[in-house]
Chains A and B, each alone.
Chain A
């Protein structure tokens, strides 16, 4: 991304106003006196041009000019030397082919609130990690009371996943999920790159559910 410090330094800020030096003035309802001492206005005379023309901008006002240019410099430095937020790099997506086999007796219907394939980019520490939804792949609802299932997940974000398997929601409570079968090859870790296809086998044994949280 190109840098865009968009300041043309040939463009100078100039002033056309010129006011003859003057002596005394009352200003402000709060009674603060703003009378100007002769030395003060003598000082100003050095800075102010004697005659005003449209093209005679800020000439001679050395201190004011340096101050304003300093502030301009601060403004532009702070403001625009990069473009700010940029779209993050797109690591692409791949697809996952999952083959699930089930053994043992399926739980009763009231304990089968939901059933999904889940792949996590992290090792969960407790159930609150189920809220890290943006770091997971979650399938659509899976079929229940079947001996096996095969499905494909398209557009799976590329990356490495550390904890993958089939999860069962055993009540309507949002956090009442538990893993019932895990992907165990390669210590349960798999990676997927842009355009890649990955095949995973998961076995669910209802008589021997995995521990949670994992050790």
Chain B
């Protein structure tokens, strides 16, 4: 605790020293008027001489007058809530009086975001008739997000167990197999071809414009996988001017609190390092062609034995617009990762060391390699071209192609060498779609399209219906989404999607997923919504075909059927400036999701192994609420989200495993000085009401769970083109279980420096 106090004191002293050194003002003067894009005066704009603490603010007419300390060149920063910051370089001589008028560009504020996931086209988040949360690029940068699960943990209604994302309790825990949340990159499905898992590490965290989290079934637009929700990662747009940025970070994992744990591992008392760097550049080469590229590398020693990883990313996006009606955008990415994969601990008394599960016929042998930490080398490649043709002012269509490949090569515990690909997994997800958008009037919009996709996977872990290791899963689909403004305040949305899947050589599955929603916007800045929709998910290759006893006994289930969901939701969202000084936004929703054929892993005694099976029926009801307040001056930003869930297997009446009943996420962010921001992010997740204790039969203490209570601290300062940040995750050093038999992340310290030009 002494160490923690010391850190907090150091941060605060740094803040005060920085601000106390501010120089006093002198005689040279710059003055002018600040206006918005419409030419209207913007009052209350902060005008700061960068590198100093000297500044002023514009008056009610937008006029300002600022004394400068001496003759010379200065950079002025104009900042105001609701507008993008603007930098202006000025040069003044002795006793000069300079005139400088400035126009500020508006920026999006709370609840004002534009989202695309809810309808496959842009619309204001406030008015969408379903629940959508948005994380901006700023949110990611402020938290030093290098893997997206860090950011998603701060979203109300979303929990992350390992890298398995759980929206409103839809997913439990199945080692990232068969995600019920569809991950998309720029609108393209990006689940792994082998397990339908969420490959969070493949995403370019530094090149993200925003992340949209659609809560509730999205199958009517996106098909299988969107049973519980959709996460759409949108990469940044092309800049008008060249931009180069270098972002680097370094830090350490703090040794865990308990000596018993530290003593169980030879490196348990050490600070374990991690570091990384991202270099990106974006430019407009000509009026028709622009591009950005980004390279990043990250090395992490890991806070657990055998949990280190090296990750390399390369991403590039090009945009070619030969005329005003045609545009071709192509996103290409590659990820290479070598990692130790800590799967479960030895016991709750030795959490830092991977354990070895015993199955009676394979007792622990002294000196044997732990099977709780298999290593692998993974390459993932993605290619996503999109051609857009604007036919006229009311109609345009897009042709999208997608390819996503995965290569996994296990690494030998004995030699450290990569094994042959035949002992690993090769998978590809590829396809394309055509989407037409027609907006015949401002009361009516249509989106329609069709798609063709396929998955091909070969894995030494799978035994398919044909008895071989190769499987394919072609799919065709057609979808329609229609919006009609029935009255000036009432909007009706109807949609449906037809999917036809061929599963392996034997089975086909067909589904029609309808949806209906209503949005009432009768009050200014407020939307009352109702949404009903169906979702479905076909079992992944891994769920149907995994047949392996290397780590846990798992047998395939060829009879596994798709699972279906039906969701009902009523919600109320709004923005107000009248309830409290500043801007308040809120969103509250009540939802009820029923599932049929819910796919969950269970120990099946007759099979003497785990197997994915269909549960007859399950139900999840809940309430989700979010309140956000941003002071008018921008000095304070608070947010608080609470989610309550009740889950039930209808037949047995038992709760669904690994679903927490309560979740609270909160943020406080203070503009401590003109250049320094301080933030605290907290999340509290109750211990799941029920654990799947079958796992604990094999893995010692795997049924131990506690509440998750994590508080992260961050502070950052901006000095010219540089931004420096100090981030302390889990500052109170609270120990929790990240997923069964894995200790959650202990305290870690990160220093981040970004140069942007």
Contact = CB atoms under 8 A, between A and B. Distances in A.
Interface in A101-148: 114, 126-128, 130-134, 138, 140
B1 interface: yes
Dominant SS among interface residues on chain A: loop
B258 A133 contact: no
Contacts of B360: 130, 133, 138, 174, 177
Nearest to B707: A84
A133 B668 contact: no
B349 to A, nearest CB: 5
A23 interface: yes
Interface string B560-577: 000000000000000101
A131 B696 CA distance: 10
A29 interface: yes
Given A40-B577, A63-B581, A30 B672 contact: no
Contacts of B333: none
Nearest to A127: B605
B420 interface: no
A27 B109 contact: yes
Nearest to A90: B349
Nearest to B43: A22
A16 interface: yes
Contacts of A6: 1, 4-5, 731-733
A96 to B, nearest CB: 16
Interface string A74-95: 1110111011111110100000
B57 A19 contact: yes
B112 A68 contact: no
Contact of B42 (A17, A25, A67): A25
B696 A22 contact: no
A18 B109 contact: no
A23 B43 contact: yes
A166 interface: no
Interface string B98-114: 00000000101100101
Interface in B674-706: 674, 678, 680, 682, 684, 694, 696-701, 704, 706
A183 to B, nearest CB: 19
Contact residue range for chain B?
A: 35 or more
B636 A64 contact: yes
A78 B682 contact: yes
Interface string A50-69: 00101101100101100110
Contact of B553 (A24, A140, A174): A174
Contacts of B668: 13, 68, 71-72, 75
Contacts of A33: 524
Interface stretch (B146-154, B166-174, B275-283, B627-635): B627-635
B388 interface: no
Nearest to A173: B608
A44 B632 contact: yes
Interface in B711-746: 711, 731-737, 743
B40 A26 contact: yes
B457 interface: no
A152 interface: no
B666 A83 contact: no
A7 to B, nearest CB: 8
B680 A83 contact: no
B580 A4 contact: no
A180 interface: no
B22 interface: yes
A131 B711 contact: no
Contacts of A185: none
A210 interface: no
B672 A75 contact: no
Contacts of B734: 79-80, 82-84
B680 A72 contact: yes
A28 interface: yes
Contact residue range for chain A?
A: 35 or more
Interface string A26-55: 111110111011001001100110001011
A26 to B, nearest CB: 6
Contacts of A34: 82, 109, 577, 583
A111 to B, nearest CB: 16
Contact of B706 (A61, A72, A85, A173): A85
A34 B42 CA distance: 13
Contacts of B672: 13-16, 57
B53 interface: yes
Nearest to B53: A54
B698 A13 contact: no
B252 to A, nearest CB: 19
A80 B44 CA distance: 39
Contact of A78 (B109, B582, B664, B700): B664
B109 A133 contact: no
A85 B735 contact: yes
A204 to B, nearest CB: 19
B160 interface: no
A17 B359 CA distance: 63
Contacts of A215: none
Contact of B581 (A28, A44, A75, A84): A44
A152 to B, nearest CB: 16
B363 A140 contact: yes
A16 B19 contact: yes
B112 A67 contact: no
B674 A22 contact: no
A13 B680 CA distance: 11
Interface in B373-409: none
Contacts of B575: 32
A42 to B, nearest CB: 11
Contacts of A58: 635-636, 670
A16 B57 CA distance: 13
Contacts of A22: 43-44, 59-60
B46 interface: yes
B732 A4 contact: yes
B519 to A, nearest CB: 13
Contacts of B711: 75-76, 79-80
A105 to B, nearest CB: 25
B577 A28 contact: no
A131 B666 contact: no
B127 interface: yes
A15 B258 contact: no
Nearest to A39: B578
Contact of A86 (B60, B258, B670): B258
A83 B57 contact: no
B607 to A, nearest CB: 10
Contacts of A150: none
A211 interface: no
A140 B360 CA distance: 10
A68 B696 contact: no
Contacts of B682: 74-75, 78-79
A29 B5 contact: no
User: Closest 4 CB pairs between A and B?
Assistant: A22-B43, A54-B19, A80-B732, A30-B124
10 contacts: A4-B733, A24-B40, A25-B43, A27-B109, A32-B126, A72-B680, A88-B701, A133-B360, A133-B698, A177-B360
Given A1-B258, A29-B106, A83-B735, 20 more contacts: A4-B733, A13-B668, A20-B60, A22-B44, A28-B109, A32-B126, A34-B583, A36-B632, A63-B580, A76-B711, A79-B710, A82-B734, A87-B260, A87-B348, A138-B358, A173-B608, A174-B361, A174-B608, A174-B609, A175-B608
Interface of A: 1-2, 4-6, 8, 11, 13-30, 32-34, 36-37, 40, 43-44, 47-48, 52, 54-55, 57-58, 61, 63-64, 67-68, 71-72, 74-76, 78-80, 82-88, 90, 114, 126-128, 130-134, 138, 140, 169, 173-175, 177
